[in-house]
Amino acid sequence: MRFLTVVLLVLLSFAAASAQALNTKADDPPKPDERPAQALYEDANGYLGRRYQEFNKQKLPYDAKLELQTKKEQQELAVKNAAILKARSHLSKEDLYFLGMLNHLAGDADAALTTMRQLLKDDPDGAQAQAGRNVVVLYAVRKGLLDEAATAIASYAHHKPQRADDRYRMELLITDAYSRTKDYASMTKHAQAMLEAAKEFSKTNQEDVFKRDEMLVKSSALLADAYNKSNHRDDAMKTLQNLVQMSFDLPSGNLYKLAMYRFLVLKPSLAEFDKMLADSIAAKGTPPEIIGSEWIDQSPVKLSDLRGKVVLLDFWAHWCGPCRVTLPNLSRWHDAYKDKGLVILGLTEYYGHGEGRQMTPVQELAYLREFKKRNRLPYGVVVDESDENSYNYGVNSIPMSFLIDRKGRLRYISPGASDEEIASLGKMIKKLLDE
């Protein structure tokens, strides 16, 4: 009996001690989150990526509601981490930067703008300060604080490092804002800066040709619009002529097509456009060499070997309906002008399909040979394993043709298969043969 009493007392004592320990633990304040500011930001910024990796592992199908929920969770995490960082007694410049970025990620415009203003108070240099100026421009424009946005852009231009696409985006935001307020003088100024940023991007990002073209077209169109709305129509036309000139200099058929459409908005006549080409566009440099892994009824040749000839490069595909429309014209021009110096090369690539079935490269090459024979195409066809020719010439739609004169200069681009475009191309072939 005495033994049982001792055991009971020991158990009661242990229970009391455990309860006291639990009460003490419950009363203790939670340990503060001491992660660095950068870790707090990266935690929130990387949330979507982590969750999408989990979804992929679970092989979940795309769900728009799940995507919205996940983005909402990311915003909530950004709000939470921003609160953790803001509660600290002292924030360094780096802390302010990551706090501003967390506020930006959370969609809190007021907090993001306030924090980045504090970061930039002493007009600092460096990558974080430049990113902060991007954020200031974004939210200042949204709030209609265009003077503040313009000041931030000017400050960005006087600090390092700089990115042409960042400068372009900031100028786009404020140019569009000045357009909406009908301040065409300010719109013109910033559209000019936007165009310069697009040109700078094109110098250093040749691999991203369609983004480059989009930037050049957007900035030129806004500048032309600013000139036109401020009654400087000649400057508007000159801006679009310069855009067409860039399409030849690069070269880029995509840019040419977009520039032509912009021109036709102001002067809706293809004849006027062709006259502008003849009067104002100068041939500069030499177009890129063509690449081919297979040559059908044509010995491998370089453009430099064809100096003294007029060369027509026709980008096409066997499955493309509009391309097939142009084939009789190409055959006719070849037969009529081959003895006068015209060389036509049809440029295509492997697409992996034809006649409603999948094809290997070997099967597609055999199909191309048969297609060429069946359609009696008398000129050579060049087939490449990649889309490098298309990238080099800025081709994102077919058919598209490039006409090179006897001196090896690009002189004409035909971006489609309409009757007008085919007629214009035919006239230009005759003109270059007669030169």
Cβ–Cβ under 8 Å, residues 422 and 331: no
Q: What is the pLDDT of residue 215?
A: 97
Q: Tell me: the pLDDT tens digits for 83-138?
A: 999 999 899 999 999 999 999 999 999 999 999 999 999 999 999 999 999 999 99
Q: What is the pLDDT along the chain (435 residues), one digit of tens a residue?
A: 443 343 333 333 444 444 454 454 555 667 889 999 999 999 999 999 999 999 999 999 999 999 999 999 999 999 999 999 999 989 999 999 999 999 999 999 999 999 999 999 999 999 999 999 999 999 999 999 999 999 999 999 999 999 999 999 999 999 999 999 999 999 999 999 999 999 999 998 877 899 999 999 999 999 999 999 999 999 999 999 999 999 999 999 999 999 999 988 888 887 888 888 888 888 877 899 999 999 999 999 999 999 999 999 999 999 999 999 999 999 999 999 999 999 999 999 999 998 889 999 999 999 999 999 999 999 999 999 999 999 999 999 999 999 999 999 999 999 999 999 999 999 999 999 999
Q: What is the pLDDT of residue 73?
A: 97
Q: What is the pLDDT of residue 27?
A: 56
Residue spans per domain, the chain: 37-162, 163-282, 294-434
User: Strands, E, within 350-409: which ranges?
Assistant: 353-354, 357-358, 380-384, 400-404
Give the C-alpha separation, 171 to 156, whole Å: 11
**% of the chain at pLDDT higher than 90:** 84
Whether a cis peptide bond, with omega within 30° of 0, leads into 287 is no
Cβ–Cβ under 8 Å, residues 113 and 135: yes
Identical fold for domains 37-162 and 163-282, yes or no, is yes
Q: Can you name the CATH fold of 37-162? A: 1.25.40
Give the C-alpha separation, 103 to 101, whole Å: 5
**Would you give the DSSP letter of residue 49?**
H
Q: What is the pLDDT of residue 31?
A: 81
Length of the chain as a residue count: 435
Give the C-alpha separation, 96 to 83, whole Å: 12
Alpha carbon of 278 to those of 245, 257, 428: distances in Å? Answer: 12, 17, 10
Domain 163-282 carries which CATH code?
A: 1.25.40
Q: CATH homologous superfamily of domain 294-434?
A: Glutaredoxin (3.40.30.10)
Q: Beta strands 294-296 and 400-404: pairing type?
A: unpaired
H-only helix segments in 107-145 = 109-119, 127-142
Which residue carries 């502008």 as its tokens? Answer: 276
Q: What is the pLDDT of residue 19?
A: 47
H-only helix segments in 28-161 = 37-45, 47-57, 64-86, 93-106, 109-119, 127-142, 146-157
Q: What is the pLDDT of residue 192?
A: 98
